[in-house]
Structure 1
Amino acid sequence: MISASTHSQLTLRLKRILDQLSEGLVERDTLARRVLLAALAGEHSLLIGPPGTAKSALARRLHLAFSDGRYFERLLTRFSVPEELFGPLSISALEQDRYERHVAGFLPDASIAFIDEVFKANSAILNALLTLLNEREFDNGAGRIRCPLVSVVGATNAVPDDEVAEAFFDRFLMRLPVEPVSTGRFAQLLASPTDTGMAPFAERLSREDLAWLASVTAEVRVPDTVIALLGQLRSALDEMTVSVSDRRWVKVVYLLKTAAATEARADVSMWDLSLLPACLGADRESQHQIATWLLDRLGIRMAISPPRLTRVVEAFEAQLAAELKANDLDYDADGRLRFSAGDLAHEVGDAKGGAGALRMTYQRKRRYGEVHIEARTAQVDALIARIARYAAEVQAQAEDLAQYATASLWMDPAFADAARNRLDGTVLAIAALRERAMTARAGFEALPRLADGQGTAPDPVVHDAWDD
C-alpha cells in the first residue's frame, strides 16, 4: 500500500494515466479526465452522443488504468435478456430449488464495465442494474452478494423520457455530452491513427491505491464558502427547473473531495466547482446554464460584482447631480429677499389681480460649507479605497485560478479560459468604476462654497448595503 509520503507520486501517475487515456483521441481530453475522476470516486459516467464519436474507444481504455479485477463489456438491444449481463442460471442450483446465476465473468463479477446503448434494455434489466450500480450488490437467488464494481461507463445516443430511465439515469454521476470533432480539429482527426490500440498502460492503479485514496479523501475539508455557494446553486437550480436529488448532492461533494485528494490538497477549492455542470445538468443546455451561473460567481463576491458596485457609484453620481442643481432663496441680514434688476428670476405685472404690483423672487445656486464638502469627499474616498481592495482581491483570485489550472488534473481548459476572461473583465469594470468615483469626488470638491461659515455635515449617501 502506498503511504502519504508518496502522495505527489500518485498525482504524477494520474497525469501519465490521463495522457494514455486520451492519446490519439482528438478533443477527448476533458472526457478522459471526467471518466477517470468518476472512477476514482467510485462513481459511474454516461457518454451521450451520436455514433462514431469515440465513446466506446474511451470507455474501453478506462479498464487499462486499473491493474486488479475483471473487465466486462456488453452492447444492449431491446432484445437483450438478463443472462447477457448477470450470467446464466445455475442448473445445479435449480435442481436444489434455488434460483441462482453463475456470475463469474459477468457484470456482478467485474470491476470496470462498459455498457453500450444502456437505455435500449428493457425495464427488467434496468431495474436490476439500479441496486448493482448504487449499492454494489446483486440479488442472486435468496441472497445478496457484494460486487467488486469500481465504475461503469455507459454510452447512449439519447436519454429516453420515462420513469425507469430517469431513475437509472440518476445513477450516473457524470453525464457527458459528446459531439463530433470540431471543424478546427478535423484535419488532426484525419491524420490520427485509425488503430486506437489496447496496449497495457505503463501506469496502473491497484485496489490498494484506491483504498489509500479513499482514506485520504475522507480527511479533505469542505470550506464554509464552498458550502454556501453550493447552497446558493441549489436554490438557483430550482429556478432553472433542474432537479437534483439529495443523494446526488452527497455524491458530488465526495467527488469534489476526491479531486482535491488526488492533488494533495487538504481543502476543496472553489475552482473544483467547475466539475459541477457535468454532475448536475441532465443535458448540454442545463449544463451550460450551470456553467454560466458559476462563472458569474467563482472568484467574485457579491460585493465585488460590477452591477452592485455600479449602483453604489451611481448613488454618489446622483447625489452630486442633485447638489449641483439645488437652489436657495437669497435673503439679506434683515431677512428680506435680496434682488436686483439683473437677478430677477421672473417679473410678473398683474394689472388685473393686484393693482399692478410687482411679484419678485430670486434664487441662486446652493452653496456648501467645508464641513459638507469634506464629508462628501471622505465618503467617496472610502468608496475608492474599498474599490481598490476589491480590485486587488479579484486580481488575487485571477492569480489563484492560474495556479490552480496549471496544477489541476481535472479542470476543463475551456472553463479555465472562460473564468479567466470573466475575472479580467471584472478587473476592467472595477477600474472604470473607480474612475467614475474619482470624477464624482472632483465634482464634490468643486461644489459652490459658502463665503463664510463651515456649514453642516450632510446625511450619508444612501446606497445598497455591502460587505467588506
Structure 2
Amino acid sequence: MFQKIIEIKNALNTRFFEREREVEALLIALLARQHLLLIGPAGTAKSALSAELAKIVQGANYFQWLLTRFSTPEELFGPLSLKELEKGVYKRNTAGKMPEAHIVFLDEIFKSNSAILNSLLTLINERVFYNNGTPVQTPLMTIVGASNEYPEEGEGLEALFDRFLLRCEVDYIVDDQCFISMLKGTRANQAMPSITLDELRQFQFYADMVDIPDEVYQTLATIRRKLRDEGIRPSDRRFRQSLRLLQAKALIEQRQTVELKDILILSHALWETVDQKEIVSGIVKENAQDRITTELERIEAESTDILAAVRENGSTDAGLEATQKLKALEAQLKRLSAEHSDRKAEILPLLKKVMERKRFVTETILGV
C-alpha cells in the first residue's frame, strides 16, 4: 500500500530537476509531521515544490505567504472579527489563514517581526493558536520555511530557526541537459499522482509504528557523544524528534524497521550553526555508513576533484597526472568488486564512471 508514496516521490523527482534530496526531505517532513527549512537563492523552485505537494494531497488546506518586516498578524492569522469586536472580544477570523492549514509555505521566513513571532513560534511548536486567549488546536502537519540566507546572530530568530528540524540548502540546476529540459518545460504537463488527506494520516500512523532497533539507539548515543567532543550540542528534544525522521525515511523505503543507513538524514538535522554542518555530516556518515559506502563516496568525490582540476589546467602534465590518479582509483574499485561481490550493484556503476572520466582525459587532454 506504500506504493503511492513511491509514486509521489518519483513524480516530483521527474517534475523538478535536481531536487531529489529536497523531495525526499519534504516527504519525510510530511510523514513525520515535522518542519523543513529550505535555504537558497530565489528561483530555485522552493515554493513550487511545496505547492505541488499540497496539490497532491487532496483535501488538505494549503497556506502560502511571503513575509516582510512589515507583515502584520492579520496576514497570517486572519483579521479581527468586527462582530466580536463590538462585544469587546478580540477574536480573529482564521478562515483561509494559517491556523486552519495542514501544509504551510512561508517565504522569507526570517523576515518575521516581533508582532507575529510569538504566535508563529507557538503554532509551529505546539500546533496551537491562541485566539482571544483561548488555545485552539490547529490541523498543522508541516511548515516549509524558505529564505535566501541564514538568520544573523543577534536578530532574535534563534528560536524560530530551531523549530525547523530538517534544513536543506537549494541551488540552481547544475547539469546542462537538465537546465535545457527545464527551459523547454518538457515535464511541466506530466500527470501527478494524488492521495487523500485520510490516506496521508494513515501513512503518518504507519510511520509512527516503524520499529527502531537498539543498534540505532546506540549509534545515536555515539553520534551525540562525538558531537559533544566537537562542542556541538543538539538538544535532547531535537534528538527525540529526529526519531520520527528515521521512521519516515524507513517507510519511504518501504521498510517497517529503521536501518543504520537511515541515520544519514540526520546530517540535515543535528547542526545548530552553518559552520557546524560539515563536522556534523562527517560524524553522521562515519557512524551511519559501512566502510564500503564510505570508501565509494570518497572515490567518487576524489575522481570529481581530479576531473575539475584537469579541466581547469588543461596542460599535458596535468592530464598525465590525472590519468595516473584515475587509474589508481579504478584499481581500488576493481579490488573492492573482487573482495565484495555482494556489493557489485553499488561498485560497478562508479567503476564505469571513473573509467569514462579517465577516457575523457586521455582523449580530450592528451589526445590519445
Both proteins in one fold, TM over 0.5: yes
Distance 2:156 2:194 in 1: 36
Name the structure 2 match of 1:82. 73
**CA shift in 2, pair 1:215/1:14, >3 Å:** closer
Name the structure 1 match of 2:357. none
Contact 1:175 1:283 (8 Å CA) reproduced: no
Contact 2:101 2:139 (8 Å CA) reproduced: yes
Distance 1:187 1:198 in 2: 16
Equivalent position SS for 2:156:
helix
Name the structure 2 match of 1:428. none
Q: Answer with 1 or 2: which has the greater Rg.
A: 1
**CA shift in 2, pair 1:46/1:197, >3 Å:** farther
Name the structure 2 match of 1:104. 95
Among candidates 116, 121, 125, match of residue 116 of structure 2: 125
Name the structure 2 match of 1:438. none
Equivalent position SS for 1:23:
helix
- Displacement of 1:80 in angstroms is 0.7
Equivalent position SS for 1:192:
helix
Answering whether residue 134 of structure 2 is matched by residue 143 of structure 1, we say yes
Give CA deviations for 1:233-261 in whole Å, capped at 9, x if unaligned. 11122233333122211110111112223
Among candidates 11, 19, 27, match of residue 28 of structure 1: 19
What stretches of structure 2 of length at least 5 have no aligned partner? 296-335, 355-368
Name the structure 1 match of 2:230. 240
What stretches of structure 1 of length at least 5 have no aligned partner? 1-8, 307-390, 403-415, 422-468
Among candidates 171, 174, 185, match of residue 179 of structure 1: 171
Q: Once superposed, what is the RMSD of the aligned Cα atoms?
A: 3.1
Equivalent position SS for 2:178:
helix
- Displacement of 1:68 in angstroms is 1.6
Answering whether residue 11 of structure 2 is matched by residue 14 of structure 1, we say no
Among candidates 217, 239, 250, match of residue 260 of structure 1: 250
What letter corresponds to residue 165 of structure 2 in structure 1? Answer: L
* Match runs of 1:241-390 below 5 Å: 241-282=231-272, 285-300=275-290
Name the structure 2 match of 1:93. 84
- Displacement of 1:267 in angstroms is 1.8
Name the structure 1 match of 2:363. none
Contact 1:17 1:201 (8 Å CA) reproduced: no
Equivalent position SS for 2:54:
helix
Give CA deviations for 1:193-220 in whole Å, capped at 9, x if unaligned. 4669987964222232233223323332
Instruction: State the TM-score, normalizing by the size of structure 2.
Output: 0.74
What letter corresponds to residue 38 of structure 2 in structure 1? Answer: L
Distance 2:31 2:127 in 1: 15
Give CA deviations for 1:62-104 in whole Å, capped at 9, x if unaligned. 2122112211111011111111100101111111111110100
Q: How many residues align?
A: 306
Greater helix percent: which structure?
2
**CA shift in 2, pair 1:200/1:139, >3 Å:** farther
Answering whether residue 49 of structure 2 is matched by residue 58 of structure 1, we say yes
Equivalent position SS for 1:265:
coil
**CA shift in 2, pair 1:45/1:254, >3 Å:** same
Give CA deviations for 1:247-286 in whole Å, capped at 9, x if unaligned. 2111101111122234442321001011011111246653
Distance 1:196 1:97 in 2: 57
Identity %: 36
- Displacement of 1:231 in angstroms is 0.6
